[in-house]
Amino acid sequence: MEQERPGAVALVQQLVREGTEVVFGIPGIHLMTILDSLHGYQDQIRYITTRHEQATAFMADGYARVSGRPGVSLVVPGPGVYNAGTGLATAYAASSPVLQIAGQVARAAIGRGMSVPHEVHDQLDIVRPVTKSAERVTSAGDLPRAINEAFAAMRSGRPRPAHLEAPPEAFSDLTTAALLEPAVRTEPELDEAQLAAAVDVLAAAQRPIIIAGGGVHAADASAVLTELAGFLQAGVITTREGKGAVDERSGLSLGTLFVHQRLRPAIADADVVVAVGTRLQGAGVRPGCKLVHIDVDASEIGRFGQVTAPVVADAGTALRALLGGLRARRDPAADRTGELRAVRVSVDQQHAAVGEQADLVRALRRGVPEDAIVAVDATQVGYMCHMAFPVYQPRSYLTSSYMGTLGFAFTMALGAKVAAPHRPVLSVSGDGGFLFNSNELATAVQYGLSTVSVVFNDSAYGNTRLDQVTGYGGRVIGTELRNPDLVAYAESFGAVGVRAKSTDALTGALREAFTDDRPVVIEMPLSQLASPF
């Protein structure tokens, strides 16, 4: 039997047991007992205060994606939960394990419509669409179990966010509830018949292609994916979320699947496509092509294509089993790197044809260290980064997936820096998106998070203004912006502000910025860009 202690202490103790190292949050009256309990565990859990609840979720997400461990946020009920909702939805879209712990109104007031501060009739309804697990507990004794079950949900199968809420009394009441052993990762059992069917298809493949998504990162399966691709001499295409699953300098890398049709010929030429850890949206696998679809989430298999051989499994488990089965059936394929490099050259030439967009991305790549983590916002240069910014390591490229969230990249980068303090971290934003969460420069300075932020400033919501110019007869309304002096703005927080006016200057500013131990904002003024598509 555990010693009697407040529920909040039991909650914090269970977080420690689950391996939690940091909590991102904003204080509030409903959370004071938890904050007081965290005070006694500062040697085990770091508490980072943000300036807006949206940033708590984004930073927890960035931390989770880079570290591979669940990120944890702490918010007040009502407005806190609503404010954090965009970040939670983004984590859901990107299959990222983020635990949101939220307060609730007083136990006696829950669901009674008494207009008490921060009351929402049923707060769980807000988060259910964007969480894998959502629970409310009202007693102190249930808190360790609820934390453990939330971690079990995030560590089982497809990782996605979880939400736990409780009223103040649950945190302050005393309990002797026992702590539980930390939740362990679980995955579906590999079906031997499914595996055998997939091996049969791949054993006969002559021109295979692999399309790798974020599930490869979630399973830490980059190494075995690269090994399988080499055995098959299969070209590898990644999704945005899968960038870095193979080193894009490899002769097997063909590029990233995103909107533009430049990779369709390579996919059409394949006799077998292996899709792993991706729903295959937009891939356009031709009718008649054999498709091996591997995903830990059975509901995603076949969503965007007729599947020849489905495999419901963790990406790492499936790829290792496939490789073993193939080695027992056939010799490694003959070298195709010359053929595949020719495909990659053609793809890169199409990038170069975009002109200014491609020049900017090349300037970024030249100025960024090879091991950098890059968070890319929903901005025109960001879209070009998806297609043309090569990534060399897994868990190093952060996007908002299909959510297309504007303004997430800067705070996502801060969370990534917490997870990997010794790695360079870059965010790429437009002026509109950067100013969504630029107040978190205060957080970056306070906690010494020395990220580098490039802001391409065209004084507009550039992509939507381009839509108006090209599709609505040039009738511009609501998309032009008046911005502060971003260099002076950054310096007012105690960060470094730099203005670059050419691609060479941008590369030089980046190289210098990554030698600084302070947050750096590099503004690059731009005129209106052409569409990268």
| Mean pLDDT (the chain, rounded) | 94
Find out whether 456 and 430 touch, Cβ atoms under 8 Å.
yes
Percentage of residues of the chain with pLDDT beyond 90:
85
CATH number of 354-525: 3.40.50.970
In angstroms, the CA 137 to CA 123 distance is 13
Tens digit of each residue's pLDDT (9 = 90 or more) over 145-156: 999 999 999 999
Structure tokens at 497: 């502000």
Confidence category of residue 246, pLDDT binned at 50, 70, 90: very high
In angstroms, the CA 34 to CA 289 distance is 55
CATH number of 192-345: 3.40.50.1220
Nearest 5°: the CA angle 58, 405, 344 is: 105
Nearest 5°: the CA angle 433, 438, 444 is: 135
Strand pairing report for 452-457 and 520-525: parallel
Tens digit of each residue's pLDDT (9 = 90 or more) over 333-342: 999 999 999 8
Find out whether 271 and 290 touch, Cβ atoms under 8 Å.
yes
Q: How many residues does the chain have?
A: 533
Query: How much is the average pLDDT of 364-381?
Result: 96
Percentage of residues of the chain with pLDDT beyond 70:
98
Classify each residue of 209-220 as buried b or exposed e, where b means 16 or more C-beta atoms within 10 Å of its C-beta: bbbbbbbbbbbe
User: What pLDDT was estimated at residue 13?
Assistant: 98
Cβ count near 329 (within 10 Å): 12
User: What pLDDT was estimated at residue 530?
Assistant: 65
In angstroms, the CA 148 to CA 320 distance is 30
In angstroms, the CA 470 to CA 479 distance is 14
Between residues 408 and 306, which one has the greater pLDDT? 408
457 Cβ neighbours under 8 A, 6+ residues apart = 430, 431, 483, 486, 523, 524, 525, 526
Nearest 5°: the CA angle 261, 270, 252 is: 80
**Smallest Cα–Cα separation from 190: which of 111, 67, 296, 303?**
296
In angstroms, the CA 328 to CA 281 distance is 33
Find out whether 495 and 448 touch, Cβ atoms under 8 Å.
no
- Per CATH, 5-173 and 192-345 having the same topology is answered yes
Query: How much is the average pLDDT of 295-308?
Result: 91
List the domain boundaries for the chain.
Answer: 5-173, 192-345, 354-525
CATH number of 5-173: 3.40.50.970
Confidence category of residue 303, pLDDT binned at 50, 70, 90: confident
Confidence category of residue 345, pLDDT binned at 50, 70, 90: confident
Between residues 180 and 353, which one has the greater pLDDT? 180
User: What pLDDT was estimated at residue 533?
Assistant: 61
